[in-house]
Amino acid sequence: MTDAPDALWLQWLLQALQSAQAALLQTLHALGLVPTLHGQPAWPWAWRLAGDTLLFDLGQARRLAITLGLLTLALLLAGLALAWRRPRLPLLALAALLPLLAPWPEWAAVRVAATPASFHASPTGFDARSIAHGQQLYRQLCVDCHGDDGRGHGPLAARQPVWPPNLAGPLLWRRADGDLLWHVLHGMHDARSNQPSMPAFAGRLSADDAWALIDAMKALAAGQMLRQTGQWLQPVRLPAFSLRCPAAPGRTASTDLRGQRLRVMVPGDTAPPPDPRVVTVALAPAGAGAAWPLAAGTDCQATDLAAWTALALIAGHTADAAALAGTQFIVDRAGWLRARSAPGAADWQEDDLVCRAASTSFPSTSTSSAAGPVPAAGTPGNDGLGSLIARMDAEPVRYVKGGVVH
Ligand code: HEC
């Protein structure tokens, strides 16, 4: 295993590759050279440059970085030669020589198959309503093959030319979101037999439906990984939902609370006391509607019932959303869901931190997971929540998606 994701230059390189290709696509689109598909410009080539392989092949990544550096230098020299007459010939000769000297990486290490939607970005913002809508569609259209839990054991699975993949693992995070969109709308072919494998849903689903399905599948996968391993192996954001905060009427969505630590409470048997270290957001009990009065000790109240559905999926309660009652979540300042307590638990425990730095980036890297609570300067109290907050602050989430740190 490599320590590649820790290398700043590599993160920068991958970001640069991604942004350069996205900028190229926008330019082609502005010039009218590529069509719009599913609301966004379509990538015109069957390949794109990507970091997925480079993360595991540092040698190729170095070659690519040096080659790009030399090509930039060659362009600069050529520009200089145009502007400056006397040393023009030697400058041009040097500019022509540099690409020949460059240690070009292997093509296979830097290119991956692309779809026309490879650079499409999800418009949903991981919204609770989108997750709830997607879950409904998933139950109608996808369970027969992919199964309730996404692991690919639906009743029709065995009859497919290839077994449906496990969607309840890291697969959805390895793919570009746009490629997932494409596969849901336009289906897939088995590479070996060239038979249709995953059916196409473009006739039955809009692009918005497909984006909603992608959100729902990610929520489902997060919940299933939590069930299997006790952790959110891929970091998950708190879904966006609308809320009201009597003391801060300007805040109307959970995303308006970014920058603060949140405690999200699902109504259950016991309501914990107020705590100044966190902004407490309560979900409305099912059927309560927006008129539900704010419970003592809460700062804000969700006005969106879909928040419950979405968090139930993320917590692994796939079939029984009611089982979420009494659960609490802690969200860090960047909006990541970090901890989840068991319903009715008296205090926070070490094990409640289910999104940890060591498990969130890449399989190798950091080994800090076994450490106990980290005593940090200014630790707000030394109870369970205090240690949890200190640990959370000491291990910020680094989110790597399709080879790019976000
Ligand atoms: C008739 C069975 C069947 C149904 C119904 C079905 N799938 Fe699939 N799905 C498959 C198979 C088989 C594959 C594996 C395809 C392959 O790798 O060639 C797959 C693959 C996928 C993948 C992985 C894509 C990737 O990039 O590797 C996703 C995501 C997915 N399906 C989502 C869905 C969604 C969402 C629905 C419902 C709208 C759905 N599937 C309905 C059979 C099905």
**Fold of the domain spanning 128-229:** Cytochrome Bc1 Complex; Chain D, domain 2 (1.10.760)
pLDDT at position 193, please?
86
Triad 216, 49, 27: Cα angle to 5°: 90
Q: pLDDT tens digits for the chain (406 residues)?
A: 334 455 778 888 888 889 999 999 999 999 999 999 999 999 999 999 887 777 778 888 899 999 999 999 999 999 999 998 888 899 999 999 999 999 999 988 888 899 999 999 999 999 999 999 999 999 999 999 999 999 999 999 999 989 999 999 999 988 999 999 999 999 999 888 888 999 999 999 999 999 999 999 999 999 999 999 999 988 999 999 999 998 999 999 999 999 999 999 998 866 778 889 999 999 987 666 556 677 778 899 998 889 999 999 999 999 899 999 999 999 999 999 999 998 878 788 888 999 986 544 433 333 333 333 333 444 456 788 999 999 998 888 876 665 555 5
Distance 377 CA to ligand 1 centre (A): 49
Give residues with Cβ within 8 angstroms of 178, minimum separation 6. 40, 115, 117, 118, 119, 120, 121
Q: What is the mean pLDDT of the chain?
A: 87
DSSP character at residue 160: S
pLDDT at 405: 55
Atom of ligand 1 nearest to the CA of 171: 27
- Asked if residue 209 lies in contact with residue 142, where contact means CB atoms within 8 angstroms, the answer is no
pLDDT recorded at residue 126: 96
User: What's the confidence (pLDDT) of residue 129?
Assistant: 97
Tell me which residue has tokens 């914990």. Answer: 272
Select from 145, 186, 195 the residue to mutate for testing ligand 1; criterion: most ligand atoms less than 8 Å from CB.
145
pLDDT tens readout for residues 23-74: 999 999 999 999 999 999 999 999 998 877 777 788 888 999 999 999 999 9
- Output the pLDDT for position 362: 38
* CA 162 to ligand 1 centroid distance, Å: 10
Ligand 1 centroid to residue 166 C-alpha, Å: 10
Q: Where are the beta strands (DSSP E) in 248-399?
A: 262-265, 279-282, 300-302, 328-331, 337-341
> 351 near 340, Cβ under 8 Å?
no
202 close to ligand 1 (CB < 6 Angstrom) = no
Give the position, in ligand 1's atom list, of the atom nearest the Cα of 188. 18
In angstroms, what is the span from residue 199 Cα to ligand 1's centroid? 7
Q: Determine the 3-state secondary structure of 18 from DSSP.
A: helix
Distance CA(280)–CA(300), nearest Å, equals: 6
The answer to whether the beta carbons of residues 70 and 101 sit under 8 Å apart is yes
Q: Is the CB of 303 under 6 A from ligand 1?
A: no
Q: CA triplet 122, 404, 174: central angle to 5 degrees?
A: 70
Q: Is the CB of 182 under 6 A from ligand 1?
A: no
Ligand 1 atom with least separation from CA of 172:
29
Cβ–ligand 1 contact at 157 (below 6 Å): no
201 lines ligand 1 (CB under 6 A): yes
pLDDT of residue 3: 40
Three-class SS state of 198: coil
8 Å CB contact between 251 and 243: yes
- The residue ranges of every structural domain in the chain are 4-34+47-113, 128-229, 243-405
Return d(Cα 50, Cα 111) in angstroms, integer. 6
Q: What phi and psi, each to the nearest 5 degrees, are found at residue 253?
A: -140, 150
One-letter amino acid at 185 equals L
Does any ligand 1 atom lie closer than 6 A to the CB of residue 213?
Answer: yes
CB 164 within 8 A of CB 187: no
Strands (E) in 168-242, as ranges, are none
Dist. CA 107 → ligand 1 center (Å): 29
Expressed in angstroms and rounded, the spacing between residue 39 Cα and the centre of ligand 1 is 22
Q: DSSP character for 378?
A: T
Per-residue pLDDT at 344? 79
Single pTM value for the model? 0.88
End-to-end CA distance of the chain: 21
The predicted pLDDT at position 357 comes to 67
